[in-house]
C-alpha cells in the first residue's frame, strides 16, 4: 500500500503530509488514522511506548474517550529526506468540563511507500479557561481559512 506524498519530501509535500495527518486526527477515527502507519510502526507518545497498528488503534480510542471536543492544528517545523518534524497544539476538555491546550512536537520517519514507521511525540498540557480557547470550528476537519498556529501566536 502506498500513501503519497512519498519521500523525499519537499516543503510543499511535507506540508501536505502534515495537513493530511491533522485532518485524519481531527476525524477522531482511530482505524482510519492507523492506516497512515506501517503495520509495525513504533511510537513514543509522552511516556507511553507502542508498536503496531493494533496498539495505535487502542491508544487513540482511549485518548479520544478522555480528550473530548478534540481539535488539532499541526505545522511543519523541518523536513529532510524521509523525515518530517512538526509542532502542534490541540484543545480538548475532560468529562468535568475543564479545558486544556496541549502543545507538542513530533518527529516522523516514513518508509518508501509513504507510511509512517516511527513517531516520537513530546507533549505538555496547559489548563485553560473556556474563554481562552482559540479552536472553534465544528468538530472534524479544520477549515482552510482558519488561522494556523503561527497566525494565532502559538
76-112 pLDDT, tens digit per residue, is 999 999 999 999 999 999 999 999 999 999 999 999 9
Kindly tell me if the per-residue pLDDT of 123 is higher than 90: yes
Mean pLDDT, to the nearest integer, of 41-57? Answer: 97
Are 103 and 154 within 8 A, CB to CB?
yes
Please give the angle made by the CA atoms of 114, 117 and 122, to the nearest 5 degrees. Answer: 115
Mean pLDDT, to the nearest integer, of 49-55? Answer: 98
Are 75 and 148 within 8 A, CB to CB?
yes
pTM of the model: 0.97
Mean pLDDT, to the nearest integer, of 120-140? Answer: 98
Tell me how far apart the alpha carbons of residues 137 and 147 are, in angstroms, rounded to a whole number.
11
Kindly tell me if the per-residue pLDDT of 1 is higher than 90: no
- Whether the upstream peptide bond of residue 5 has omega within 30° of 0, thus cis, is yes
In the chain, domain spans: 11-130
pLDDT at residue 57, as a whole number: 98
pLDDT tens digits, one per residue of 8-33: 999 999 999 999 999 999 999 999 99
Tell which CATH classification among 3.40.190.10, 3.40.800.20, 3.30.70.1140, 3.10.450.50 matches the domain 11-130: 3.10.450.50
Confidence class of residue 50 from pLDDT cuts 50, 70 and 90? very high
Q: What is the mean pLDDT of the chain?
A: 98
Share of the chain above pLDDT 90, in %: 99
Mean pLDDT, to the nearest integer, of 69-77? Answer: 98
Positive or negative torsion for Cα 17, 43, 124, 33? positive
Kindly tell me if the per-residue pLDDT of 116 is higher than 90: yes
Amino acid at each position: 500500500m502506498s500513501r503519497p506524498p512519498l519521500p523525499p519530501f519537499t516543503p510543499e509535500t511535507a506540508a501536505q503530509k502534515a495537513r493530511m495527518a491533522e485532518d485524519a486526527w481531527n476525524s477522531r477515527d482511530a482505524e482510519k488514522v492507523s492506516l497512515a502507519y506501517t503495520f509495525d510502526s513504533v511510537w513514543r507518545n509522552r511516556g507511553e511506548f507502542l508498536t503496531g497498528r493494533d496498539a495505535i488503534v487502542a491508544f487513540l480510542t482511549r485518548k479520544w474517550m478522555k480528550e473530548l471536543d478534540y481539535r488539532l492544528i499541526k505545522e511543519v517545523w523541518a523536513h529532510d529526506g524521509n523525515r518530517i518534524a512538526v509542532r502542534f497544539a490541540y484543545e480538548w476538555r475532560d468529562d468535568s468540563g475543564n479545558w486544556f491546550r496541549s502543545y507538542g512536537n513530533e518527529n516522523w520517519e516514513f518508509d518508501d511507500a509513504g507510511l509512517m514507521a516511527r513517531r516520537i511525540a513530546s507533549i505538555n498540557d496547559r489548563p485553560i479557561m473556556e474563554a481562552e480557547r482559540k479552536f472553534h470550528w465544528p468538530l472534524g476537519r479544520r477549515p482552510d481559512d482558519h488561522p494556523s498556529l503561527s497566525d494565532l501566536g502559538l
